[in-house]
Amino acid sequence: MDLKQFVEEKIDEHFFQVSEIEYLREENKQLKQSATLGIAYEQKLNDLLRRESMNEYAPSLELVKSLSYANLNDYYKVWVDYKDFNASRIYGLVHNGNSAGIVVQKDGNPLALLIGDPKSIFSVYVGENNIPGVVYGKKKEVHVRYIPLWMHPEIGDEVITSGMDDMFFKGIKVGVVTAVIEEELSKTAIIRPYVDVEIPAYYYIIKQN
């Protein structure tokens, strides 16, 4: 029975690895295309910045691996393997081109607070008019708080990172508005995030934005 269970576990592990390899191959194809287009945009942008005597723009990402949950009963906190981690910084976290949360230090090690965690907080814009707000995790819900009362987010508006918090650059997709609540001093938008709470094996950390 022990031998049978051992063999079954090894078979399951093998098929999981095959599936993971196929997933990474497909993601790699998409990333190569995005990287090629990104180089074209980068050249145009930096030509313009040089003409205006401004510093070149060179954001960078690094692939990091999920290691384990920080707590077995909390699916929103995950240890990640990041060798160049700077404990004095907070990093943006990206999965499949969407905001997945932030990375902070805990006991000197990098801890991912996935979108939905109450301490996964970063600045965003809502809709085509770039209405400012701040994302706060509420477990299965995600709220965009501190929206000025005189601004009018609508259901269906897309939420993107604003780039104003030194964690993300502007334009990374976060989610879509599903409800708007008017409070005494501000409005709050309830959003459905694009990244599911299910833990992916790999993320990208924004090293420089």
pLDDT in tens, 137-154: 887 789 999 999 999 999
Distance separating alpha carbons of residues 97 and 85, to the nearest angstrom: 21
Distance separating alpha carbons of residues 95 and 194, to the nearest angstrom: 9
More confident of the two residues 47 and 97: 97
More confident of the two residues 128 and 44: 128
The pTM (predicted TM-score) of the whole model is 0.73
Percent above pLDDT 90 for the chain: 39
**Alpha-carbon 117 to chain mean position:** 12
- What pLDDT is stored for residue 67 in this prediction? 85
Distances (CA, A) of 193 to 101, 139, 141, 160, 161: 10, 11, 8, 10, 12
User: What's the whole-number average pLDDT of the chain?
Assistant: 83
pLDDT at 134 exceeding the cut of 60: yes
Distance separating alpha carbons of residues 8 and 33, to the nearest angstrom: 38
How many other C-beta atoms lie within 10 A of the C-beta of residue 114? 26
Q: pLDDT tens for residues 177-195? A: 999 999 888 999 999 998 8
